[in-house]
């Protein structure tokens, strides 16, 4: 993201950028753990892990379709649908039943804001992947043939 502001940050092989980004993330997580306990972030880790699994299944499905094996795509689509819906439901329950109520108490205000912001960010990233993949799957299923460059920008 910082590459949009300062171009060298967009290069993954730029050592100062990697060090600065790593230090920022480590500082944020260290601050988060210092102000709370592991139990405050555990539900978010579970949600993030399952959303990562959903993203992996979406990428796997896209790969299966790209290589022309559309008839096998159901093998990854079925678990994707199950994990996707259950994870989104559980994540929304975390947001409304855990993180938003934390905003009402002064002691856990920072924890609630951080949990809420990170959960929304994780959901947003997953939605971008799903939003880009699912229409291409539908297009490939309608055509019932090997798509040429269905996932490339045109």
Give the pLDDT of the chain (154 residues) as one tens digit per residue: 777 888 888 888 889 888 998 998 888 778 767 766 666 678 888 888 999 999 999 999 999 988 888 889 899 999 999 999 999 999 999 888 888 887 776 656 667 787 888 888 989 989 999 999 988 888 888 877 555 555 555 4
pLDDT value of residue 146: 54
pLDDT value of residue 38: 63
pLDDT value of residue 35: 67
pLDDT value of residue 30: 80
pLDDT value of residue 142: 83
Residues 6+ apart with CB under 8 A from 72: 64
Residues 124 and 80 in one domain: yes
pLDDT value of residue 77: 93
- Between CA 22 and CA 42 the distance in angstroms is 21
Domain that holds residue 137: 37-143
Residues 48 and 104 in one domain: yes
Whose CA is closest to 143, among 56, 63, 68? Answer: 68
Cβ atoms of residues 139 and 147 within 8 Å: yes
DSSP 147: -
Residues 61 and 108 in one domain: yes
Residues 30 and 53 in one domain: no
Residues 62 and 30 in one domain: no
pLDDT value of residue 75: 94
pLDDT value of residue 13: 86
The answer to the question of residue 149 being in a domain is: no
* Number of compact structural domains in the chain: 2
Residues 102 and 54 in one domain: yes
Residues 14 and 75 in one domain: no
Residues 109 and 46 in one domain: yes
Residues 7 and 82 in one domain: no
- Between CA 63 and CA 141 the distance in angstroms is 14
The answer to the question of residue 152 being in a domain is: no
DSSP 97: I
């Amino acid at each position: 993201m910082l590459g949009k502001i300062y171009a060298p940050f967009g290069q993954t092989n730029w050592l100062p950028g990697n060090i600065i980004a790593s230090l920022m993330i480590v500082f944020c997580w260290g601050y988060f753990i210092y102000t709370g306990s592991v139990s405050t972030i555990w539900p978010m880790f579970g949600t993030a892990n399952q959303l990562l699994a959903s993203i992996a299944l979406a990428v796997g499905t896209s790969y299966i379709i790209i290589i022309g094996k559309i008839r096998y795509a159901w093998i990854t689509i079925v678990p994707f649908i199950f994990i996707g819906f259950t994870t989104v439901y559980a994540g929304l329950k975390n947001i409304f039943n855990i993180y938003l109520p934390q905003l009402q108490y002064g002691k856990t205000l920072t924890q609630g804001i951080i949990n809420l912001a990170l959960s929304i960010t994780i959901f947003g990233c997953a939605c971008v992947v799903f939003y880009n993949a699912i229409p291409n799957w539908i297009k490939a299923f309608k055509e019932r043939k090997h798509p040429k460059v269905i996932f490339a920008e045109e």
